[in-house]
Every structure is written in C-alpha cells, then in structure tokens.
Amino acid sequence: MKKWLLNWRLFSLFSVIALLLAGCGKPFLSTLQPAGEVADMQYSLMLLSTAIMVLVIIVVTIIFVYVVIRFRQRKGEEKKIPKQVEGSHKLEIIWTVIPILLLIILAVPTVSATFKLADVKPMNKEKRDKNIVVVNVRANLYWWEFEYPDYGIITSQDLVVPTNERVYFNLKASDVKHSFWIPAVGGKMDTNVENKNQFWLEFDQKATDEAGGIFYGKCAELCGPSHALMDFKVKPLPREEFDQWVEKMKNAKPVVTDSVAKEGEAIFNKSCIGCHAVSPVDNRPEQARTAPNLANFGDRTRIAGVLEHNEENLKKWLKDPDSVKPGNKMTGTYGNLTDEQINALTKYLMSLKVE
C-alpha cells in the first residue's frame, strides 16, 4: 500500500512539473504560438488531431466506467452469465465505421494542407516574378549559409526575409544530413547532400513584433557533437526595409578607419581570408565557401550562433572555438594568436557592418 501511494505521488509530481514546463515556451521558439501561414495550418492540424484523441479518450472512459458499474458482479449473482454479444453485426459495424469517420475527418484537411505546402511552382518558373524571394540554404557543420540568387548576395547565420509574403527555400547540405527548422514559423525540412528539398514559409509581421523582431532557427537532425548548438537567427522585415537591406548588402564594402582594426584586417587577410569572405557578393563556387560569410558580422545578433554578440565573447571564440562548439572545423586552422592579435582581430570583425 505504501509503495503504491509513493508511486502515485511521484506520478502526480511529474505530471505537475510537465504541465508547468509546457507553459515555458518563448514566442520566438514555440510551435504553439504560430507566426505565419504555414505555422497556422500546422497548428490547426495539431488542434484537430488533439481534439479527436481527447474525444476518443473521453468516450472510451465513459463507456468503461459505465460498464464497470452497470455490469459489476453483485451478491447472489456469482453464477450468472451476462448476455453474450459475440458476432453482433451492429457492434462490429459501429466500432469499424467510427474510426474510419474519425480518420477521414483528420485526413481531408491534412492531405489538403500537404498539397498546399508542397506548392513551390512559383519559385521554379523559368521567368519567375521579380518580387518572389528565393533563398538557397546550405547547412554545414555547424553553421548556415543563406544565398539570395536573384540578388547576388550571400550571408551566414542571420537569415533576413520579408514579412507577410511567401519566401521560398532551396535546402541542401555540404557535409552530412541536417534539418532546417524555424519552430514558430513552420515545420522542419531535411537538408541532404545528395538532393535538394524545396518549401516555403510566410512570416507574419504582427507575430514578428510580438516576438521582438527575431525568431530562432535550429538544426533538427543529429549531425555531430555540436548539433544542439547549430542555431541561426531569423530577422523578418517589412518589404520596404528588406529591399533597403538588399541594396545595402549589394553595395557593402568593408571600410576600416580604426588603427587597431587595420591591424586586425592584416591578420585576417593572412590567416582567415582563405575560408571566410567579407563581401556579400561572393562569386566563388560553394565548394570554396568553407566558412561563414562575415560581410555583416558586426550587425549580427549572435557569435557562432549561440553566444551573445559582444567583444568578450568574440575573443573567447577566437581563443578556443572548440570550447564553444566541439567538433567545429575552425579549430587549429589559423595558428596561435597573441592577446594583442585577438584584440585587433576582434576590432576588425566588429567593424564589418552594412546597417
């Protein structure tokens, strides 16, 4: 009896904890606070499937309780045999038809949404509308590249998109399988080495404002020791501001005036330029783009996708990248830098802005 009571208390405790944790979502990272057309459709399907499951549980529970009470064994009826319903066509039809109807209720909107979400014809037209935004997403260990082929610009780690319209994505990976996921905006999609996946998302302006102007993106496929740290940020902008950002990126040229930053530029050109680019207009083939594009590094919200964007954390990253992201490909590629060199390199990288 004591053991049963202890187990019940533990079960109740974990249930309460689970309930409390379920309410800890952030608007920029929660699938339960949809921030766009795709997220709304998927959230509606979640609600529909949950409602069907809850309804089934309630009905089965009521029937179970009724049967237990109504047909319990009573005193003096120990040898009474209840009425047998084996082979009842009526019951067999009922418990066959009802699940079929429930599946149809769930299947119709699911299939409809699946075909709607798979419609990427506008991005594949030979002469597509100039206002359609297409982003080539390339996943790498452990960073993301975002190429805007119609604008001729490339950035990394921070994805910038227009709000209140469909944005189309080509997804691929350069090393192992990853998965592109912006929880608040839509479901995940794999990025593969051997083929290209396509889909679209829509970023709601009102939801963007409520989320503070930034959404979090994740890798949703186990890819290595720093899989959980393979984050990126999404910055949705009104169309006019997005167009302005594109023009700034097209015309961006690194201008260094600070003397310490100039020393850092010299170090960068000697040790880092072989992998990193500092211009958004990068015409190298993707095989040569082996590290994140740093053209707008000073405007970003995170360092290495996970650290707060400040000089102290940048120095930490430059001194020992492996302490931040184990298994990254940057560690050991640029030799040992002195504190003075790291300070100068930090000044230079923080000066790379287009905003």
pLDDT of residue 7: 67
What is the percent of the chain where pLDDT is above 90? Answer: 66
pLDDT of residue 28: 66
Q: Report whether pLDDT(24) > 70.
A: no
pLDDT of residue 32: 84
Mean pLDDT of the 25-53 span: 88
- HEC string of 140-190? ECCEEEEEECCCCEEEECEEEEECCCEEEEEEEECCCCEEEEECCCEEEEE
Q: Report whether pLDDT(80) > 80.
A: no
pLDDT of residue 313: 94
Q: Report whether pLDDT(1) > 60.
A: no
pLDDT of residue 187: 92
Cα–Cα dist 298/346, whole Å: 10
Mean pLDDT of the 121-143 span: 90
Q: Report whether pLDDT(27) > 70.
A: no
Is residue 210 within 8 Å of residue 27, measured between CB atoms?
yes
Q: Report whether pLDDT(67) > 90.
A: no
Give tens-digit pLDDT for 194-252. 999 999 999 999 999 988 899 999 999 999 999 999 999 999 999 999 999 999 999 88
Buried b (16+ CB within 10 A) or exposed e, 230-250: bbbbbbbbeeeebeebbebbe
Give tens-digit pLDDT for 85-117. 777 888 889 889 999 999 999 999 999 999 999
Q: Report whether pLDDT(254) > 80.
A: no
List beta partners, residue 225: none
pLDDT of residue 75: 79
Residue 47, Cα to own-chain centre: how many angstroms?
20
pLDDT of residue 76: 74
CATH entry 2.60.40.420 includes domain 259-350:
yes
Place 297 in a pLDDT band, splitting at 50, 70 and 90.
Answer: very high
Cα–Cα dist 354/260, whole Å: 20
- HEC string of the chain? CHHHHHHHHHHHHHHHHHHHHCCCCCCCCCCCCCCCHHHHHHHHHHHHHHHHHHHHHHHHHHHHHHHHHHCCCCCCCCCCCCCCCCCCHHHHHHHHHHHHHHHHHHHHHHHHHHHHHCCCHHHHCCCCCCCCEEEEEEEECCEEEEEECCCCEEEECEEEEECCCEEEEEEEECCCCEEEEECCCEEEEEECCCCCEEEEEECCHHHHHHCCCCEEEEECCCCCCCHHHCCEEEEEECHHHHHHHHHHHHCCCCCCCCHHHHHHHHHHHHHCCCCCCCCCCCCCCHHHCCCCCCCCHHHCCEECCCEECCHHHHHHHHHCHHHHCCCCCCCCCCCCCCHHHHHHHHHHHHCCCCC
Q: Report whether pLDDT(355) > 80.
A: no
How high does pLDDT run on average in the chain? 89
Give tens-digit pLDDT for 303-345. 998 999 999 999 999 999 999 999 999 988 888 889 999 999 9
Single pTM value for the model:
0.85
Please work out, in degrees rounded to the nearest 5, the angle formed at the alpha carbon of residue 33 by the alpha carbons of 187 and 140.
Answer: 35
pLDDT of residue 266: 92
Q: Report whether pLDDT(5) > 70.
A: no
* Cβ-based neighbours of 306, under 8 Å, separated by 6 or more: 229, 231, 324, 325
Give tens-digit pLDDT for 143-189. 999 999 999 999 999 999 999 999 999 999 999 999 999 999 999 99
